[in-house]
Structure 1
Amino acid sequence: MNRRKLLALSGALAAATLSGCTGSGQADPTTQTDTETTTATPTEMTETPTEEPPNGEPSVDDDRLAALASGNAEFALDLHAHLASEQGGNQFLSPYSISVALAMTYAGARGDTREQMEDVLHYTLGEDIHPAFSDLQRSLGKRETATDPVDGSEVDAFQLAVANTLWGREGYPFSEEYLARLEEHYGAGLRRADFTGDPEGERTRINDWVADQTEDRIQDLLPRDSISPQTVLVLTNAIYFMAGWFHEFDPEKTADGTFTALDGSESTVPLMRQELKTQYADLPGAQAVELPYVGEEVSMVLILPDEGTFEEYEQNLDASRLFGVFEELRTSIGDLVFPKFEFETEVQLSKALSDLGMPAPFGAGADFSGMVAGGDGGLHIDEVFHKSFVSVDEEGTEAAAATGVLVEESLPPSWGELRFDRPFLFAIRDRPTDAVLFLGRVVDAGEAQGSE
């Protein structure tokens, strides 16, 4: 279903919901005007905040899903803060996509490699992380439909598609137990790939799959030469989301305005505007507003730190404080002015993940023996590629992301050139028993040339 058609259908559903649910806590769109009203402003409707930011927890009853949501938020904010401090500029990630791709990799990790991944990715559930991700994906799938308030039928609310696939080197002896676990919990089947004979062709094949899963929004996830004959496995996740606002913005009210960037520079951008009843919070150091999508089960939460405090607020935002923001949201009415925007983010995450505390998976000593039949080691993560896209306008939001984890065979360590041009010892041994059959030395190779 294309963007315009889906957003038109979801807009019609939102209108039907609003007209059929007067008194439900949502604003009647006929009351949303540009004229002044006697309604109290959001700030007037909230209590004076305490000095300390609120703390909170995920609002889910299932303990396993709550642990997953909390851990994923911790990882998301850790990674966001690290990349923001290192790279600056606009940034958009799918921590869900990254975490799923790395969870599939983690399923084969052992020893220090596994422990470091647990710590950095906040996988507090151990082996239960895999069924938890499976439960979450099933739960997310239920958000795609909503009930039409007019006739009670089930209709498309928005589009949310998640896909996982493994690409494994032809002939490589992957553990059947490992593959079965990923198939069961992630729906990730194994596709054999000729990484040795046609690495560029397989790279194109993987990129084409990603583009197809993301409505062509994510192109060329894996850059040229990222696949090599040493590549053993590529684990991919792709996610695509498109939804219409429950309260759409009127395009006729969109007008150019000034946006002040972090460095103080100003630019002219299209600013959308509407008066609406929605969830709002006046917090210590920030204000927040929630914009629900059609169906009202998925939303965008906007956080506006106090002027001049953005970087400090961002760096101090952890999962507990983020959930605290969610818990403080209350129904309120006000004017919202919000820019249209669209951009992409492309990152390679090996350095960031190593800096955060998991260098072991990327080194030659990594232990991913759980991926291999017989438990042999010799594999490491070469790189984690992530690419994302977001577009926000009067109708709604389109977002897509993909993650690719490249696993390679570790090459034997190289000693460079070793020149036996001076005295040396040598032994002839029986390898299974280490029995020394012969032992000798050469101190003058000139005298040891024999006779022809």
Structure 2
Amino acid sequence: MNKLLSLLAIVVVIVIAVFLFTESKAPQPIEVDDIGATPESIQSVVDANNQFTFDLYAELSVAEAGNVFYSPYSISTALAMVYEGARGQTAEEIRSVFHFPEDIAVQRSAIAAIYNKLNEKDTAYKLHTANALWVKDGYELLDTFTDTLEQYYGGKAENVNFAGISGEASRKINDWVSDWTNGKIENLFSKDAFNEFTRLVLTNAIYFKGTWVKQFDKKYTQDEDFRVSNTETVRIPMMRQTDKEAIFGYAETEELQMLEMPYEGENLSMLVLLPKGDSVASLEGLLDVDRLHNWKDQLAEQQVKVFMPKFTFTSKYALADVLRRMGMPLAFTPPEELLESGADFSGISGKRDLFIAKIVHHGHLVQEEGKQQPELIKRIWAYH
């Protein structure tokens, strides 16, 4: 019983929200230390995230029926913060699954540079990310861990009372989430969401406001047949752009058609991959970083007739088992400090009594004329 209580003494929850809103009144993120970042190191981190994207998609497309919707950037960034406190084989397994660079200094500066780029002001779109660290009153984390999260991830630590019956911790974290979502996400945690065993909560919020350069006109949206598979067709509202102004980056290969739809500001775009024939699976098996670069290199501006369904995605994933299968089982294995086995997150508090209990990912996205509206994605990582 004493051993069980020891392992339950630390609980870490990471919540990530991705959404779009029409006004930007959220706080401004701080600038982080990206000294040392190079175009090559940034590209290596981008490629790592893209490869993880395809790796995770391969798992989820098999395990989950229907649409697959998730935020690989958010997952990678959150696990990069956790990776800062991982040691030994636990760290190596996380690095391998997420394809992180072997030199963590290279990774930190590159992640920081991406963070700063996303948080640039005075852009035609709004895309920001923020991190915070909530620590139980009286509980000490290693300075090296908290300093690193603040310096490279912008995550500042604040002490809270998780055990209080007033729900102080829930209120403070809910207020932070509400501020960073412009009031669109409120009361995320109930009053009793945390207890005396909670030691640490990490929060991450991302928001996006963007409009396509060439928007869909609502008056042309109409119900049409949409082929879900070679055996199933459904009737849904279909957006369309077919006039001479519909000029997009377009490429066609033996396997697919690729369309690039830029957002205003031209720094961000959405890539649409449409497999030829009836089989989505035939394209899924080809997805990797090298092929993505090759397909993108073939994009050329031309007039394209675009038909796109107006849709809503809602998803919920328990990712612990998925990440175990992908090659990081130690992170989810209760540690035995005396035997030096199980998870090793001793870089967080100096103690080897921490392991990941569960990862839950929940997402909701609405696609409409002119805008892409991710209303909410949240992930919860619980550590014991």
**Which TM-score band (shorter chain)?**
0.7 to 0.9
| 1:387 aligned onto 2:365 | no
| 1:110 aligned onto 2:87 | yes
| Cα gap change, 1:337 to 1:124, in 2 (>3 Å) | same
- Within 5 Å, give how 1:163-242 maps onto structure 2: 163-197=130-164, 202-203=169-170, 205-207=172-174, 209-215=176-182, 227=194, 229-242=196-209
| Cα gap change, 1:213 to 1:387, in 2 (>3 Å) | farther
| Cα gap change, 1:351 to 1:217, in 2 (>3 Å) | farther
The Cα of 1:351 is off from its aligned counterpart by 1.2
| 1:245 aligned onto 2:212 | yes
**More displaced stretch, 376-385 vs 279-288:** 376-385
| 1:367 aligned onto 2:344 | yes
1:134/1:185 contact within 8 Å kept = yes
| Cα gap change, 1:261 to 1:75, in 2 (>3 Å) | same
- The unaligned stretches of length 5 or more in structure 2 are 1-19, 25-36, 336-342
Distance 1:100 1:123 in 2: 11
In structure 1, what is the equivalent of residue 125 of structure 2? 158
Distance 1:342 1:84 in 2: 18
Compute the TM-score of the two structures, normalised by the length of structure 1.
0.69
| 1:398 aligned onto 2:373 | yes
The Cα of 1:262 is off from its aligned counterpart by 3.3
Equivalent position amino acid for 1:405 in 2: W
Tell me the alpha carbon deviations over residues 343-363 of structure 1, each in whole angstroms, 9 at most, x when there is no partner: 222222211111111111111
In structure 2, what is the equivalent of residue 320 of structure 1? 290
In structure 1, what is the equivalent of residue 275 of structure 2? 305
The Cα of 1:193 is off from its aligned counterpart by 3.2
3-state SS in 2 of match to 1:379: coil
Tell me the alpha carbon deviations over residues 384-422 of structure 1, each in whole angstroms, 9 at most, x when there is no partner: 2333332222122122534333222xxxxxxxxxxxxxx
In structure 1, what is the equivalent of residue 260 of structure 2? 290
In structure 2, what is the equivalent of residue 259 of structure 1? 226
The Cα of 1:207 is off from its aligned counterpart by 4.8
Equivalent position amino acid for 2:348 in 1: M
| 1:338 aligned onto 2:314 | no
The Cα of 1:138 is off from its aligned counterpart by 0.9
Query: After TM superposition, which residue ranges in structure 1, 4 or more long, deviate above 6 angstroms?
Result: 219-226
Compute the TM-score of the two structures, normalised by the length of structure 2.
0.81
The Cα of 1:141 is off from its aligned counterpart by 2.3
1:81/1:314 contact within 8 Å kept = yes
In structure 1, what is the equivalent of residue 54 of structure 2? 77
1:145/1:295 contact within 8 Å kept = no
Identical aligned pairs, as a percentage? 33
1:158/1:243 contact within 8 Å kept = yes
Distance 1:286 1:199 in 2: 56
Equivalent position amino acid for 2:358 in 1: E
RMSD (Å) for aligned C-alpha atoms: 2.6
| Cα gap change, 1:383 to 1:307, in 2 (>3 Å) | same
Tell me the alpha carbon deviations over residues 160-217 of structure 1, each in whole angstroms, 9 at most, x when there is no partner: 1211111222222200111000000111011223334559764565355335423456
In structure 2, what is the equivalent of residue 136 of structure 1? 114
1:73/1:319 contact within 8 Å kept = yes
Number of residues of Structure 1 aligned to a counterpart in Structure 2: 341
Equivalent position amino acid for 1:278 in 2: F
3-state SS in 2 of match to 1:322: helix
Distance 1:391 1:114 in 2: 36
3-state SS in 1 of match to 2:214: coil
1:236/1:404 contact within 8 Å kept = no
1:392/1:398 contact within 8 Å kept = yes
1:288/1:325 contact within 8 Å kept = yes
Distance 1:4 1:161 in 2: 14
3-state SS in 2 of match to 1:92: coil
Distance 1:285 1:335 in 2: 19
3-state SS in 1 of match to 2:199: strand
Distance 2:209 2:68 in 1: 19
Distance 1:224 1:266 in 2: 45
- The unaligned stretches of length 5 or more in structure 1 are 7-59, 147-156, 409-452
1:104/1:235 contact within 8 Å kept = no
2:162/2:199 contact within 8 Å kept = yes
3-state SS in 2 of match to 1:231: coil
3-state SS in 2 of match to 1:261: strand
| Cα gap change, 1:100 to 1:222, in 2 (>3 Å) | farther
| 1:356 aligned onto 2:326 | yes
1:218/1:389 contact within 8 Å kept = no
In structure 1, what is the equivalent of residue 71 of structure 2? 94
Distance 2:55 2:166 in 1: 34
